[in-house]
Structure 1
Amino acid sequence: MNRPVRTTLVVQLQAGETDRFPVLAHLGYDAADPFALTVVFAHDGRVLARWTLDREMVGEALLRPVGVGDVRMRPESRGLWEEVRLEFLGDTRPDGRRHRAVVYVWAAPVAAFLRETYAVVRPGEEEVRLDDFLAQVMAEG
């Protein structure tokens, strides 16, 4: 049985145009869903948001801009630090614009986390259990 991979990182949530505030990001990977990473953002013991991300997309974001729609990521440099910028778009607000959050995370810990997930399920060796998936879809109706 494959073990889940978990880590917690301090990331920076951008507020406004320049201010950043530290929040926790709890990252998780489970071979039962081999294409997905989960991330839970929390601050002061409160969950701010939960997202499921494509593992391959996160890996690509270390190298180049990726994503369309609700999730967009890209590498950024800040002096000596290599970061990944994650932009999340949420529900539509009353003024017609969408809720938006931008988070910055150091690239090195993300790369280390991905290496741990690759030790559990190597890229390209993910299995799709179609019967399990169809049973879940049918159960949800």
Structure 2
Amino acid sequence: MSTVIEQPVQVRLIASAPRMETVPATLRYDPDDPFAVHMAFPAPATLEGTEVSWEFARELLEVGVEAAAGVGDVRVRPYGYDRTVLEFHAREGVAMVHIRTSEVRRFLKRAQHLVPTGREHQHLDMDGDLAALLRDAC
């Protein structure tokens, strides 16, 4: 059984209005999916009124706290002192949040302790995944 890291964080939702609203979110890392990070926003913090979760590469978050990273649905970049901006692009529009870089670094350090960068492949169950894929193909 693997250890899953879940870290509650407060993020500032950047809107077109002059004020920024603080909303809760959760960063999640599961060694069973070693290349990915999940960020979830609870129902009250979303326009749809349902929990929204984004999945993106752990490497994107690691690079994004130092320099702009990402060209797809999720983009990450540093912003001023101890702030990181995450942009989430969807058909409905773009959501941007500020998160404390120190919180992101703490989360990444915990994930790194579980699965060091470059060793992610050791946490994949290739045989099990292949067997499931072949079983589903029949």
TM-score w.r.t. length of structure 1: 0.82
Partner of 2:61: 58
Deviation at 1:18, TM superposition (A): 4.0
Question: Is residue 129 of structure 2 the alignment partner of residue 133 of structure 1?
Answer: yes
Work out the CA distance in 1 between the residues paired with 2:67 and 2:14: 21
Partner of 1:8: 8
Could you list the per-position Cα deviations for residues 31-68 of structure 1 after superposition, in whole angstroms to 9, with x for gaps in the alignment? Answer: 10001111101264754521002111101111000000
1:15 partner amino acid: A
Which structure shows the higher strand fraction? Answer: 1
Instruction: Give 5+ residue unaligned stretches, structure 1.
Output: 92-97
Which structure shows the higher helix fraction? Answer: 2
| Backbone CA RMSD of aligned residues | 2.1
Equivalent residue runs for 1:100-115 within 5 Å: 100-115=94-109
Work out the CA distance in 2 between the residues paired with 1:17 and 1:139: 51
Partner of 1:29: 29
Partner of 1:94: none
TM-score w.r.t. length of structure 2: 0.84
1:86 partner amino acid: L
1:112 partner amino acid: R
Contact 2:43 2:52 survives alignment (8 Å): no
Identical-pair percentage: 30
Work out the CA distance in 1 between the residues paired with 2:22 and 2:133: 38
Q: 1:38 to 1:20 in 2, by over 3 A?
A: same
Deviation at 1:106, TM superposition (A): 0.5
Work out the CA distance in 2 between the residues paired with 1:34 and 1:90: 24
Instruction: Give 5+ residue unaligned stretches, structure 2.
Output: none
